Structure 1
Amino acid sequence: MSAFDDELRVPVAEASKPVGRKRVRRPIAPLAWMRRYLAPRGLLGRALLIILLPLVILQAIALQLFYGNHLDVISRRLAGGLAGDIGMVAELVSRRPDPEEQARIFRDAAWRLELGLAFEPGARMERPQSRPASLPLLPLEEDLTTALRERVALPFDTDWQTDPRSVIIRVQLPQGVLHVEAPRKRVFTGTLYLFVIWLVGASLLLFGVAALFMKNQVRAIRRLAGAAEAFGMGRDLGPIKPEGALEVRQAASAFNRMQERIRRFVAQRTEMLAGISHDLRTPLTRMRLALAMLPYEAHEDAAALTQDVEEMERMIAAYLAFARGEGQEQPQETDLVALVEDVAARARRQGTPVEVTAPPALPMPLRADALRRCLGNLLDNARRHAQRIAVSVEQAPRAEGGGWAMVIVDDDGPGIDPGQREEAFRPFASFSAGGTGLGLAIARDIARAHGGDILLEDSPMGGLRARVRLPL
């Protein structure tokens, strides 16, 4: 048996355990990991990645060409030159043991070769050991060690740590130990620092300029997105100022035109609804008077028709109330908890027992009158089918950031079948549990005008739960 299961890619010890209802977490594939960490979700991050990635690759290629080829050749040549000078001095010192001759050799080496020399007669190197260089990323120690082995051919060691400006080399001669102090500039070229500084500095400069310009472009897009989000929540902030790149300005101008067209459409629809509803009241009033004047023998038929006329008047009143609120009201800072308490108090005055569970306060921008109609419609719908009603106010996080304010209406009525809950929001929908008229349709329209929605669920009380979501 292999160490890993071929299908799930999990250890066999884990795969052999009964899984049951527990979810087995599969390791993240390398491609998914790269997408998660190397593909930012935001436009700014992606734009900077598009700019930065080719720049880094280009700079890395340039550095590799210099570091891997040019610097390597120069380092070997400099190390070979220093090793040759040390080998020549060591040969001269071995052939001329006279102290005066050695002194003359040391003076000439100091003047012509920039080498500090000292000789320790009769000394022996216990164990030749080279100390690592202080610049580990450069091939100094390796190149110098290789060159010394080729051109000196005697036991030696190197010390890169004692003196930051020099490298100390000891060579074992037959007569003693030769100490050589060589300046580092003989094996190191300072152009590497300039080249690296140029690469890093140019990259940082270009990245900073790109980040500054892209941030300005993304700021304009974010303002456009914020204006669209606010307009979708019913917050009329007016036209936005076109700024940024040409395409972003065109999008902002198109959004302003669309916003104005939607305003005109809503205003025309509101006026039309209000006019139709108002005009319908006149014939309904005449019908009510005509029914009242019928003889006593037609009393039963007149009563039934009167109920139909009253139902039509209620629907027209709902139309007018909805039209007035949609066309005129603007969002204002309102305490949601106080609004819910007010709606519940009105329901109690009509004889409906309502329990309210809510935090002390929850201020947020709302169309207060419209939301009162929304919650009132939900309570009216629950009152017609249930004996007990409970209302609660909660908060919940949003996946895209921010949070939701939740107003939950529970009842102990017969509820609505899950397959018919979406149908219940259609005007005058009817099903086994009864009809909804316009109440739920208007309630959902008001919630969506705030940027939220209404969901129907099973209630812990045994009936229906209406969950109103409103963005904070």
Structure 2
Amino acid sequence: MTWRLPRGLPIFWQTLLLVLASLAASQIITIIMFVVMEPPRPDFNRLGDVAEALSGGSGEHGHRERALSVRYTAAAPVAAPGMTSDPAFTARLAWRLKVPADRVRLYFEPDQRASFGDDRLRRRDRLVPMRRGEPIFFNTVVAAVETADGWRVVKTPPRPLIAAWQKRMMLWFALSALALLPLAWWFARRLARPIRRFADAAERMGRDPLAPPVAEEGPAELRQTAHALNLMQERLAAYVAERTAMIGAIAHDLRTPLARIAFRIEAAPDEVRDKVQADIDQMRAMIAATIGFVRGSTSSREIHDVDLGTLLTGMAREEADMGRPVTAGTIEPLHVRGDPLALGRLFQNLIDNGVAYGGGVALSLEREGREAVVRVADEGPGLSEDKLERLFQPFERGDPSRNRETGGIGLGLTIARSIAQEHGGTLTLHNRDGGGLAAVCRLPCVEQV
């Protein structure tokens, strides 16, 4: 049975538990290191070690890193700066070597910082610590004895850049970090997963007001935020539905007075009747387009895997069969997640606009990164840059004359962009080099296994 944090625990308590668990793990590792690893030993040389090295022994006792090195010189060594000598120590060293004191040299760096555990032997007039009457050299020591081959010199080598105990400490910290890494990774993953899901759900909600509500899961702060966001979505959806239903009802109710007006002008002169009838037909078209826009905004979507290549190729073939100037260029086999009917309406609106204003269109589908890019390019004169974004506003047309023969009433691009945004995509207009306008729709791709 694995231990798990209580569901919905606030981020504050999760972070506190992580810190406490990290401290506990660090202390456990520290205790294990003290029990298992060998404790660091003082790095020193006794006077007996110096005598043994001078007499021909190795001079290596214990596990010291600074074992005495041996060499021969023609002249006797001299004291380096910061080193001193003690005649009593030199005499004792000569006695151990069984040679006269004038044939022995002993220089060392004074050290009064350590007594090697024997505080009773610490005295201010001593140059180095003493133990059982024997000098202990923690710092550099140089000793020499005159032999038939010259002076035999032993010297403490320089201290290493990183001592053995320092290496053990570095290993200690590295093991502690490695031991805490899985715990930190698990905590970060556990904390980031609901945040990432919350962000994705909020993004879907921003694209589509009818998207499913955000899952109320994870830490307490996230659950409270998700609950507030779901309440906001419900209020916004109710507000939009109310306003949309009102617009749809008004547009629907306008059909009755228009029908009465059309009936009553039958007795009017032909010149007046034709003009009024044209206005009535235009108002009917506007009402029909408005009702279609309202229905499209409030209807639920059926999400499927959509083969965009097949969809666009089929639309281009059907348009060509009807004698419309629509061709298909580069079409890659790309898939997206969405409503096939809504996507068909999106591209049909773009095709209709291109044929009405540009004289003909060419379709293409290519992949750019993780997006499927659909281009509907026409052969028209293009538009000024200040109009490219305004055309996506409701009832905004490229032709300000409102002539039905030159296009619709200005809802086609509005509907198309709304559908693209509901599918997590974008829709923009660009003037083509050499003339013409291109509608570029970008939709997230679905990887095919």
The reply to whether residue 86 of structure 1 matches residue 49 of structure 2 is yes
Equivalent residues of 1:456, 1:464 under 8 A apart: yes
The whole-number CA distance in structure 2 between the counterparts of 1:463 and 1:87 is 97
Higher relative contact order (CA closer than 8 Å, sequence separation 6+): 2
Point out where structure 2 has 5 or more consecutive residues left out of the alignment. Answer: 1-14, 27-39, 64-70, 75-108, 110-136, 155-161, 403-408
The whole-number CA distance in structure 1 between the counterparts of 2:277 and 2:388 is 31
Amino acid paired to 1:365:
R
The whole-number CA distance in structure 2 between the counterparts of 1:302 and 1:342 is 43
2:441 alignment partner in structure 1 = 468
1:313 alignment partner in structure 2 = 284
1:427 alignment partner in structure 2 = 394
The reply to whether residue 209 of structure 1 matches residue 183 of structure 2 is yes
Please report how far the alpha carbon of residue 218 of structure 1 lies from its aligned counterpart in structure 2 after TM superposition: 0.8
Residue by residue, what CA displacement relative to the aligned partner does 1:23-72 show, whole Å, maximum 9, x if unpaired?
A: xxxxxxxxxxxxxxxxxxxxxxxxx9xx99xx9xxx9xxxxxxxxxxxxx
Between Structure 1 and Structure 2, the one with more helix by share is 1
1:232-247 alignment runs, 5 A limit = 232-234=206-208, 238-247=212-221
Residue by residue, what CA displacement relative to the aligned partner does 1:325-347 show, whole Å, maximum 9, x if unpaired?
A: 32223132222233324444554
Among residues 313, 326, 333, which one is paired with 2:305 in the alignment?
A: 333
1:200 alignment partner in structure 2 = 174
1:45-444 alignment runs, 5 A limit = 78-79=43-44, 81-82=45-46, 84-90=47-53, 93=55, 150-153=141-144, 173-174=147-148, 195-234=169-208, 238-291=212-265, 293-295=266-268, 298-330=269-301, 331-345=303-317, 347-348=319-320, 351-359=323-331, 361-397=333-369, 403-429=370-396, 437-444=410-417
Equivalent residues of 1:232, 1:451 under 8 A apart: no
Please report how far the alpha carbon of residue 257 of structure 1 lies from its aligned counterpart in structure 2 after TM superposition: 2.2
Equivalent residues of 2:144, 2:153 under 8 A apart: no
Please report how far the alpha carbon of residue 222 of structure 1 lies from its aligned counterpart in structure 2 after TM superposition: 0.5
Residue by residue, what CA displacement relative to the aligned partner does 1:160-190 show, whole Å, maximum 9, x if unpaired?
A: xxxxxxxxxxxx954799999xxxxxxx997
Point out where structure 1 has 5 or more consecutive residues left out of the alignment. Answer: 1-47, 60-73, 95-105, 116-123, 128-142, 155-171, 181-187, 398-402
Please report how far the alpha carbon of residue 252 of structure 1 lies from its aligned counterpart in structure 2 after TM superposition: 2.1
What secondary structure is seen at the aligned counterpart in 2 of 1:428? coil
Residue by residue, what CA displacement relative to the aligned partner does 1:347-380 show, whole Å, maximum 9, x if unpaired?
A: 4465421111242532211222223332222222
2:125 alignment partner in structure 1 = none
Question: Based on CA coordinates, which of the two structures has the bigger radius of gyration?
Answer: 2
Amino acid paired to 2:349:
N
TM-score by length of structure 1 reads: 0.59
TM-score by length of structure 2 reads: 0.61
The whole-number CA distance in structure 1 between the counterparts of 2:354 and 2:344 is 15
Equivalent residues of 1:409, 1:465 under 8 A apart: yes
The whole-number CA distance in structure 1 between the counterparts of 2:202 and 2:416 is 23
Amino acid paired to 2:353:
N
Amino acid paired to 2:245:
E
Residue by residue, what CA displacement relative to the aligned partner does 1:278-299 show, whole Å, maximum 9, x if unpaired?
A: 22222222233334x225xx22
Equivalent residues of 1:411, 1:461 under 8 A apart: no
What secondary structure is seen at the aligned counterpart in 1 of 2:141? helix
Number of residues paired by the alignment? 330
What secondary structure is seen at the aligned counterpart in 2 of 1:392? strand
Structure 1 residues 279 and 149, CA gap change in structure 2 (3 angstroms): closer
Structure 1 residues 192 and 430, CA gap change in structure 2 (3 angstroms): closer
Structure 1 residues 229 and 458, CA gap change in structure 2 (3 angstroms): same
Amino acid paired to 2:233:
Q
Q: Which runs of 4+ in 1 moved over 6 A?
A: 124-127, 146-149, 175-180
Equivalent residues of 1:415, 1:433 under 8 A apart: no
Please report how far the alpha carbon of residue 256 of structure 1 lies from its aligned counterpart in structure 2 after TM superposition: 2.3
The whole-number CA distance in structure 1 between the counterparts of 2:439 and 2:62 is 91
What secondary structure is seen at the aligned counterpart in 2 of 1:462? coil
Structure 1 residues 461 and 391, CA gap change in structure 2 (3 angstroms): farther
Please report how far the alpha carbon of residue 216 of structure 1 lies from its aligned counterpart in structure 2 after TM superposition: 0.8
Equivalent residues of 1:243, 1:249 under 8 A apart: yes
Please report how far the alpha carbon of residue 420 of structure 1 lies from its aligned counterpart in structure 2 after TM superposition: 1.9
Q: State the identity as a percent.
A: 32
Structure 1 residues 340 and 233, CA gap change in structure 2 (3 angstroms): farther
Please report how far the alpha carbon of residue 314 of structure 1 lies from its aligned counterpart in structure 2 after TM superposition: 1.9
